[in-house]
Amino acid sequence: MDEKFSGEAQEGGVLALETFLPYRLNRLADLVSREFSQIYRSRHGMTRPEWRAFATLGQFGTATATDIVNHSSMHKTKVSRAVASLEKRGWLKRAPDPADRRTEHLTLSPAGRKVYGELIALAKSYEAEFLERISAVDTEAIHRGLGALESRLGVSDGLERPSG
């Protein structure tokens, strides 16, 4: 074993990541996200940021890049790149805000809406198959637990309508 990993930490003991809740939540979220990403990546070559921006626009119809940043918890640079890529594919349209020329309202194009419809059907199918792996009792407990964590941490449910 590498020397830097062979001994215990000098101060505070050892933290076993596999039992540390923040690590476990992140690891599970990443695993599920990577598994689901195989669907939209194989169908349309989309990256995770592209999917999240695309799904946000599909959900709300119109949004600004800032709305997407806030809804998806992605960095503005990732959102900017995702928006540019979606526009290049012809799946997204931009319209300047008449009151503030620095702001653009983003919407899915007709071609984007068609792809969105296909991917939403696949997403719902993926979710149903995913939930079949666990019992209904576990599913309810997961939803309750996540809701409680979000509430205690002041995280919104993500259902607010973007300002766009």
Which among 63, 60, 51, 74 is positioned nearest to 122, based on CA atoms?
51
CATH 1.10.10.10 fits 47-153, yes or no: yes
Report the distance separating Cα 146 and Cα 140, nearest Å.
10
The confidence score (pLDDT) of residue 44 equals 94
CB 161 within 8 A of CB 60: yes
Report the distance separating Cα 105 and Cα 63, nearest Å.
6
Neighbours of 146 (CB within 10 A): 13
CB 97 within 8 A of CB 105: yes
Global pTM reads: 0.79
Residues of the chain with pLDDT under 50: 1, 159, 164
pLDDT tens sequence across 50-59: 999 999 999 9
The confidence score (pLDDT) of residue 86 equals 98
Residue 46 tokens read as 């989309």
The confidence score (pLDDT) of residue 159 equals 47
Phi/psi for 101 (5° steps) reads: -65, -15
The confidence score (pLDDT) of residue 36 equals 95
Phi/psi for 87 (5° steps) reads: -65, -40
